[in-house]
Every structure is written in structure tokens, then in C-alpha cells.
Amino acid sequence: MADGQFHPASALGGTYPKHFDSNRKHLDVLVKAGLVESEYDPGNKRRQHYRLAPFVKVTATPEGGRTMDFGHCTVRF
């Protein structure tokens, strides 16, 4: 999601495909909190795609990591 593009929840689960329902529920909470945006898939209205909200700034660090600036705090990973 750091690329600013919309992705289906199934693509955001990483190596844990059997936890899809849990991932989707977490994404729904992040949407309600305003940190993530969602839109319906134009080809299949039952699927939603997710991306980080535009105000969340993701930048690369010199060490090869990333930071996410939420305005009130910065997360480094």
C-alpha cells in the first residue's frame, strides 16, 4: 500500500492467505479510522481495493527502511 495504489485485500495478506478474513476486518477498521481508503473493484462490485490515505507520507530511509508520517507520529520500519 505504500506505493499509493489501490490493492485488493487478498494481495495485502503477505504469506498468510488463510487469514484473509482477519486482514479484511483490520483494513475495515483502518478505513473507519481514516488511515486507509477503499473503493469497489470496477469489475466486481463485491470486492474492495485499499490504499493508504493520501495524507500518510511514506518515505525511504538512507538505511533502506521506510517511514510513515501520520502527522502526529512517525513510524519507522
pLDDT in tens, 47-67: 889 999 988 889 998 898 889
Q: What is the mean pLDDT of the chain?
A: 85
Q: Which residue has the cell 494481495?
A: 11
Locate all alpha helices (DSSP H) within the chain, ordered by sequence. 20-33
> Could you read off the pLDDT of 5-48 as tens digits, one per residue?
998 887 876 665 566 778 888 899 999 999 999 999 888 888 88
In angstroms, rounded to a whole number, what is the distance separating the alpha carbons of residues 36 and 16? 20
